[in-house]
Amino acid sequence: MNRDELDGKVKQVKGKVKQSVSHLTDDPNLHDQGVADEAEGDVQEGVGKARRKVGEKIEEIGEAIKR
């Protein structure tokens, strides 16, 4: 897991917490912020996963070239 994946997961949790609190406080703005945070976290985690997979493939190619 890289930094983007970790930060994305943190943003997802932050967004879910905001959404939960918004239901308790009946605050639609906080709910919208939570949805946005969660979506941002989804994207950031996806970018992190893609970056990690590209790095793994580059390492595989490097190992294949060494042989």
Q: Is 62 helix (H, G, I), strand (E, B) or coil?
A: helix
Q: What are phi and psi of 50, to 5 degrees?
A: -65, -45
Q: Residue-wise pLDDT tens for the chain (67 aa)?
A: 999 999 999 999 999 999 999 999 999 999 999 999 999 999 999 999 999 999 999 999 999 998 8
Q: What are phi and psi of 2, to 5 degrees?
A: -105, 180
CA distance 39 to 37: 5
Segments making up each domain of the chain, as ranges: 3-66
